[in-house]
Chain A
Amino acid sequence: MEQVSTVKKRDRGTRALILPSAAMLLFISIIPLCLLVLFSFVDGNVTVGRGIDGFTIGNFVRAFSSAMVPKLLGKSFLISLIVTLICIGIGYPAAWAIAKVVKPQRRNILVMMAAVPALISQLLLIYTIMKLLQPGSVLMEPLARLGIIADTDTILYSSKAVIFILVYEYLPYMILCLYSVLEKIDDRVLEAARTLGAGNYRIFRDIILPQSFPGLFSGILIIFIPAAGSFVEPDIAGGPYGMMIGSLINTQYNTSLNMGYGAALSLILLVLMALALLVINFIMSTAERKIGGKINA
């Protein structure tokens, strides 16, 4: 009896350790989210130390009745999806190569190297890529000299350039997320499957893919949401037709000073993103069940 009570007491002590994080979560994440919902119903701007003009559903009416908003949302969603898919396309084989193909002693250094671009200021990288894509740059000049592209040809100032920059920015995160799950796959299981006559495709579908779902999902989470909300990249590299929903939200905060509308737009984006993630999550868990459940211990 006595022992049980000490265990309980100890547990209570350990449980208390959650308090700082919980408090922070509540005050710095949940309350701002609630504020966002509140502000989305505010008429006009929200200024510190000043009253609010009044509440309205006008912001949502305006957003849903405008032809521009759905268009920008659709475009942002599509670009973000493409970026995520390309990141998976490049990142999956790369992560597999690091985790299972290269010599183990090179593994460490490769993972670290993949993280290096993330360590450098993103703004600086964006501008560097802009310069790389300019005709006459270190990248384009040799290509032009070789006759692969025309002198002034470039994807710059189009959505392609935006996608290129976003892929560059987020690829390291995808590689790291996938590596952390692929690395855990037991070589002996792969060996056994091969011995039992499974082809590469079978092995991928039945063993590798299901075990990589958690990493894949966190990779998607890290890329899909910020990419859809990005505004710096389309503003500087997107050209006249490159605008995305993030630019519109940003304009509400720093040019139009219409925070209420900005908050409403953010909220719409947020809800859409959450729905998309639910769908992705659902597809993944269905696939996992179909393939035969979690293999992972």
Chain B
Amino acid sequence: MKIKRIVCLIAAAAMAFSLAACGGGNGGNSGGNEGGGADSGSAADAGEEMDFSGQTLTVANWSDYATDQEYGAAAFEELYNCNVEFYDITSYPELLQTMLSGGQSTIDVVNINPMYIQQYYGEGVITPIDTSRISCYDELREDITGIDDVLTPDGGVLGVPWIWGTTSMFYNADAVDGSEIDSWADLWDPQYAGKVAFFDDYTNCIMIAALVNGDDPYDPDLDAVQAKLMELKPNIRTIWSTYDDFMSAITSGQVVIGNAWPSNITELRNQGMNIEYIYPSEGTIGWADYFCLVDGSAETDLAMAWIDFCTGHDFQYAMATEVQPHTPANEAVMATLDDETLANLWLTNPPERMYMSLYMDNDTLQRWIDLWTEVQAS
């Protein structure tokens, strides 16, 4: 035990030095080894680089979502001479079931939304992370790093943010007069009857309705929200849940206004559509995704190297500048982005007020889900 502690101390010291040199983006400078370098053969040369040859890291994430691109897994594999496998997420509750029914022994790292992190922790699926092993941890956007939702009761950090974004409002500027649009309430405008695309997500829709009602989006009057959403129904053309649903509806001109992810809007604009993405005056809905370490993972070192890599400069920069850009959580990287990239991220003028979807207790969660289901069913 003592030896382990000494190793940890040395590692922490090494980390402190390497932090200054973090800029290189070579995430491989995490020399520390919590589990004890001595008994894990792979990390025998616990010096500069660790040799992970022949090892496989399994990451649960959405498919086609930054990490499985060329600059993601492929670059990581080359860097560490290892193999990365993906498990495709289809929904967080389903993923939790998957983890509990055997996935925990296979998956090493999971990407989770903060709404679910406490639940995952409560079920014993994830374990706190030694953030000193994340070389760029201090550069990550402050208001999403180490927030209550990702902390254990005794202060352990369960998730490291690597990507964030908004689910805000868009309109087709060819079909809609954009100068009038600046509020979520515009979705309720009768002139858009049957032309609204609405994201099938209970947090988004309840928070938006609450904002329109002038209510607290985290604790709204649910009856008023339900009534408000029922009013919106005649305007809705489709309740979209996937990229494809949304893209087909908008490219065919059936939908001219609604809420969406910025990367999709950028993709459409790059293809010549006259489309705008705005942040309504009431405030917009934000989200962030966190990498979490699976409890009992056999590849803890590799998993930590992965989280380190995904928050490092090279990956974060590549992610921000690809065709379907994603917003980096690393502020140091954000600062280096040029105007065009920022415009593609719709962050030339960042949103003033952003309401993140956060953890809620089980009863509230159930009530929100039931409310949205009822609105859809009626």
Bound Cα distance A49, B91 (Å): 21
**Of A22-30, A31-39, A99-107, A126-134, which binds chain B?**
A126-134
Within 8 A of A (CB), among B64-106: 90-91, 93-94, 96-97, 100-102
Point out the residues of chain B lying under 8 angstroms from A50, CB to CB: 100
Contact with A along B92-126 (1 / 0, CB 8 A): 01101100111000000000000000000000000
Q: Is A21's CB within 8 Å of the partner chain B?
A: no
Q: Which residues in A have their C-beta under 8 angstroms from that of B242?
A: 236
What's the A-B contact tally at a CB cutoff of 8 Å?
Answer: 81
Q: At the interface, yes or no: A281 with Cβ under 8 Å from chain B?
A: no
Number of interface residues of B (CB under 8 A): 34
Q: Who on chain B is nearest to A47 by CB?
A: B100
Asked if A98 lies at the interface with its beta carbon under 8 angstroms from chain B, I say no
Would you give the 0/1 interface string for A127-144, flagging 1 where the beta carbon is closer than 8 Å to chain B? 100110011110000000
Q: Which of A71, A136, A235 has the most CB of B within 10 A?
A: A235
Q: CA–CA, A255 to B97, complex, Å?
A: 11
Please give the distance in Å from A232's CB to the nearest CB on chain B.
11
Q: Complex formed: what's the CA distance from A255 to B370 in Å?
A: 10
Q: Is the CB of A157 within 8 A of B93?
A: no
The answer for the CA separation of A256 and B248 in the assembled complex, in Å, is 28
Residue of A nearest to B96 (CB): A257
B91 A156 Cβ-Cβ under 8 A = no
| Interface stretch of the complex, out of A4-12, A177-185, A204-212, A240-248 | A240-248
The chain A residue sitting closest to B240, CB to CB, is A236
Does any Cβ of B come within 8 Å of A152's Cβ?
yes
Interface residues on chain A, size class: 20 to 34
Q: Verify if B54 is at the interface (C-beta below 8 Å from A).
A: no
Give the residue of B96, B101, B238, B369 whose beta carbon is less than 8 angstroms from that of A239: B238
**Contact between chains at B237 and A131 (CB < 8 Å):** no
CB <8 Å contact, A68 and B253 = no
A203 CB within 8 Å of chain B: no
Chain A positions within 8 Å of B97 at CB level: 47-48, 254, 257
Chain B residue with Cβ nearest A156: B254
Query: Cβ of A251 < 8 Å from any Cβ of B?
Result: yes
Judged by a CB distance under 8 angstroms, whether A154 is at the interface is yes
- Choice from B238, B241, B244 contacting A127 with Cβ under 8 Å: B244
Chain B residues contacting A154 (CB-CB under 8 Å) are 254
Give the distance to chain B from A240, nearest Cβ to Cβ, in Å. Answer: 4
- Minimum CB distance partner of B370 in chain A: A256
Residue B378 at the chain A interface, CB threshold 8 Å: yes
The residue among A127, A236, A248, A256 with the most chain B CB atoms within 10 A of its own CB is A236
Q: Tell me, rounded to whole Å, the shortest Cβ–Cβ distance linking B210 to chain A.
A: 20
Contact of B239 among A48, A131, A240, A256 (CB under 8 A): A240
**Option from A68, A136, A239, A258 in Cβ contact (under 8 Å) with B378:** A68
Q: Contact at A134–B373, with CB atoms within 8 Å?
A: no
Find chain B residues with CB under 8 A from A257 CB. Answer: 93, 96-97
For the complex, is B366 an interface residue (Cβ under 8 Å from A)?
yes
Known contacts being A47-B100, A68-B377, A241-B233, is A256 close to B366, with CB within 8 Å?
yes
| A131 vs B102: C-alpha distance when bound (angstroms) | 38
B248 x A235 contact (CB < 8 A): no
- Which chain B residue lies CB-closest to A258? B366
Q: List B contacts of A241 (CB < 8 A).
A: 233
Residue of B nearest to A136 (CB): B252
A268 at the interface (CB under 8 A from B): no
Which residues of A line the B interface, CB within 8 A? 47-50, 68, 71-72, 127, 130-131, 134-137, 152, 154, 156-157, 235-236, 239-241, 243, 247-248, 251, 253-258
B residues at A contact (CB < 8 Å): 90-91, 93-94, 96-97, 100-102, 198, 200, 202, 233, 236-239, 241-242, 244-245, 248-249, 252-254, 366, 369-370, 373-374, 376-378
Enumerate 12 A-B pairs (CB-CB under 8 Å) in ascending A order: A134-B248, A134-B252, A135-B252, A136-B252, A136-B253, A152-B254, A157-B237, A235-B241, A239-B238, A240-B233, A254-B97, A256-B370
